[in-house]
Amino acid sequence: MNCWRPAGISIVLAALVLMGLLGAQGAAAQTAAAPVQPLDGGQCDRAHFRLLLDVGHTAKVPGADSARRVPEFQFNLRLAQEIDDAMIGAGFSKTAVLVTEGPKQIGLSRRVARANHLAPDVLLSIHHDSVPDKFVEKWEYEGKKSYFSDRFKGHSIFVSWDNPAREMSLRFARLLGLQLKERGMAYTPHYTEPFMGHYQRTLVDAEAGVYRYDQLRVLRETRMPAVLLEAGSIINRDEELLLDSPEHRALISASVADAADAYCAALPRSHIQQAKH
């Protein structure tokens, strides 16, 4: 696995091993995309294509808890590592994982600044979903009070209209969504519903499951194409177990690799030549 370790950003893998890392704006769907066509044709130069996998949240601000009380950050890190392995195994040797430290706002500023400095071809931020508090129910797991919601399941993909590379962000997001769909995975449609309140989002690609989310700093403040993947709902008890399955995570990893290959092959040759220098 390739990992960047800049000042203020570090990998916390050893600590996580000790912790026991787990082996709205309108309801109408708007299809934003015709079939993806190459910009100038050709094959992907995998050795020079740079995908940066941003691990959502931090060790100090770990995001949502799963139905079985596992921090989202642990899910995010594990999946990002496995996508990294799959990408490198497929010849994308410049793929790397970015893990950020610090409290929420400082951590967000650091990850955006570092991503802009590294300037990958695509930034993919890895997350796992929960639900608004009003949908959460109590249950007992291993003798302790826990919380769950089995109401929603499925992945979702987000892009920001404020990202300066919006069209290319949407292009990669669509390719990723179609690859997930081809492998039998379904996106969750509940973000379009009025009951989501301020979490409601506009579905901009109804075939691929891509939503618009302008407020996320990692999408709107980065200067390269940027996409956020919510790989599934860890507050859903059944889907949490599915996301804990190596076989399911392998399908997600393969989807990312195939999406990257199709996206890379569509880039102008001049872009790939610049990446070599």
Q: Give the confidence band of 24 by pLDDT, cuts at 50, 70, 90.
A: very low
Q: Give the confidence band of 265 by pLDDT, cuts at 50, 70, 90.
A: very high
pLDDT at 268: 77
Rounded-to-integer distance, Cα 227 and Cα 218, Å: 9
**Which residue, 130, 114, 22, 111, is CA-closest to 58?**
111
Alpha carbon distances (Å) from 205 to 68, 157, 158, 274: 32, 10, 10, 31
129 bridge partner residues = 233
pLDDT at 4 over 80: no
Instruction: Please tell me the least confidently modeled range out of 7-11, 172-176, 185-189, 235-239.
Output: 7-11
Q: Give the confidence band of 2 by pLDDT, cuts at 50, 70, 90.
A: low
Phi, psi dihedrals of residue 254, rounded to the nearest 5°: -65, -35
pLDDT at 277: 44
138-175: pLDDT as tens digits: 999 999 999 999 999 999 999 999 999 999 999 999 99
pTM of the model: 0.85
Q: Which residue has the higher pLDDT, 21 or 100?
A: 100
State what percent of residues in the chain have pLDDT above 90.
77
pLDDT at 3: 54
Rounded-to-integer distance, Cα 77 and Cα 57, Å: 9
Q: Give the confidence band of 206 by pLDDT, cuts at 50, 70, 90.
A: very high
Q: Mean of the per-residue pLDDT values for the chain?
A: 87
pLDDT at 274: 52
pLDDT at 251: 98
Rounded-to-integer distance, Cα 147 and Cα 145, Å: 7
Q: Which residue has the higher pLDDT, 37 or 244?
A: 244
pLDDT at 122 over 80: yes
pLDDT at 212: 98
Q: What is the mean pLDDT of residues 193-218?
A: 97
pLDDT at 8 over 60: no
Q: Give the confidence band of 107 by pLDDT, cuts at 50, 70, 90.
A: confident
pLDDT at 184 over 90: yes
pLDDT at 182: 98
Type of residue numbered 75: F
pLDDT at 211 over 50: yes
Q: Which residue has the higher pLDDT, 80 or 268?
A: 80
Q: What is the mean pLDDT of residues 10-25?
A: 37
